Amino acid sequence: MTTYSLMSGGEKLATTDTFSVINPSTMATVGESPKATAENLNTIIKEAKKAFSSWSAVPYAKRQQYLTQIADALETHSQELANIITQEQGKPIGASLGSMFEMGGAVAWTRYTASLELPVKVLQDDANGRIELHRRPIGVVASITPWNWPVMIAIWHIIPAILAGNTVVCKPSPYTPLSTLRMIEIMNSILPKGVVNSISGGDELGAAISDHPDIDKIVFTGSTETGKKVMSSSAKNLKHLTLELGGNDAGIVLGDCNPDEIAPGLFWGAFINNGQTCAAMKRLYVHRSIYNEVCDSLTAFAKSVKMGDGFAEGAELGPIQNKMQFDIVNQLVKTSIQQGGKVLLGGALDSEDSLFFPITLVAVENNENALVQNEQFGPALPIIPFDTVEEAIKLANDSSAGLGGSVWSNDKVSAAEIAGQMECGTVWLNKHGTIQPNAPFGGVKSSGLGVEFGEEGLLANTTIQCIFS
């Protein structure tokens, strides 16, 4: 069994204690992760701070070259890292949206980000003088990542931060630390010492990071409630923040759609990574004229999708990653049924001998239903009828979350008009959950603060300095 290491100042850092990481498919231990102490954290942050002055002085073009080398290394190690992801996270390795897909995304994001520029912007150049706007790195950036996409989300945090000239301390989820630790070890075979460092352990480390005076920015992906705590503790030294928090994405299906044609897109929009994705569709609103047909088509398609161990041939969906999340999904489905929801497929479980939860579709009439109002973050989807477009928009916006949404129609002009009235950071037409490295991504309302990806995401890792001459 492999024991993984922390990286501090370009060297492996030993800890006195470790903790076991469990395969959610088999419940077997797949590796030992270092369990860092507060002293370890201080050491690692100190190394990142020490490296900042030299790294921020590296020419921008040279930092771009380093990122390209990282992309090459990730590509070379894709199979190795994908195997670890499947073991600790549970997603199937061979599925079209599984672990190898995650690695492909990590490589693509790294390559694209390496191509971005940070030019000096001339604000004025006339007889009254010249004003230049320069972008400067912030300092030490802390990356706190979740368990659903352990490598790709770490890449989203780390790569733009170091391109901008910052150094990084990355803390992965204690449920899925191994792939991230190994990835950072690979990065350290390329980067100068101290540019990217890793720390792993319990949630108390996250609190210590957000409170630490030598952390200058935090990039956090996770729940809204934890994000609020990060924001509160970060106020002590006015840390910069990028928070990508919970979503409760709504999809709106208009009456002109062909149910059989849209069923695959609806399914994967909701059930990508077994529904364990912030921007997965969590609520589906369907015009009453085609409601029954959409329910039937979606159910039929869902029955064709194989769930199983991540290394099993043909498996497209795996287990829920951990028992806490399993219990949340199971209880929401139970409550939904008690409140009048009609199970079309799957349903709640009374005996829980594994973390595999059946693909579940629930017909719901009341928008106050628990499965509609709460983010399930698992393989259960409520389907709600509506009668008018105005009603659909009102129901979709009846949420404190505002990450993503979608509109499904053969009339893209009408769909775009509806999209403009949805209270969320991203709206897709006739698809859901597609993200790209060149398109800024972030939420409104309680779904976050700031954006990632593209030029805007890169700029979020900088401060502004204006030079008057």
Comma-separated ranges of CATH 3.40.309.10 domains in the chain: 249-429
Model confidence pTM above 0.95: yes
What confidence score (pLDDT) does residue 3 get?
78
| Structure token pair of residue 255 | 């009456």
Please say whether the structural domain 249-429 has been given the CATH code 3.40.309.10: yes
Which residue is listed with tokens 């630790």? Answer: 181
Query: In the chain, which residues fall in CATH 3.40.605.10?
Result: 6-245+444-468
Q: Would you mind telling me the total number of residues written for the chain in this entry?
A: 469
| Residue labelled with tokens 């890292």 | 81
In this prediction, residue 139 carries a pLDDT of 98
How far is the C-alpha of 193 from the C-alpha of 195, rounded, in Å? 6
| Per-residue burial over 320-356, b = 16 or more CB atoms within 10 Å of its CB, e = otherwise | bbbeebbebbbebbbebbeeebebbbbbbbeeeeebb
Pick the catalytic residue from 88, 102, 244, 423. 244
Known active-site residue 11: no
Query: pLDDT value at position 142?
Result: 98
Is 352 catalytic? The answer is: no
Sequence-distant (6+) residues with CB within 8 A of 464 are: 133, 134, 135, 136
CA angle at 34 for the pair 32 and 38, rounded to the nearest 5°: 155
- Single out the catalytic residue among 47, 102, 257, 278: 278
Tell me: domain 6-245+444-468, CATH 3.40.605.10, correct? yes
Chunked into runs of 10 residues, the chain (469 residues) has average pLDDT values of 90 95 97 96 98 98 98 98 98 95 98 97 97 98 98 98 98 98 98 98 92 97 96 94 97 98 98 97 98 98 98 97 97 98 97 93 97 98 98 98 98 97 98 97 97 98 98
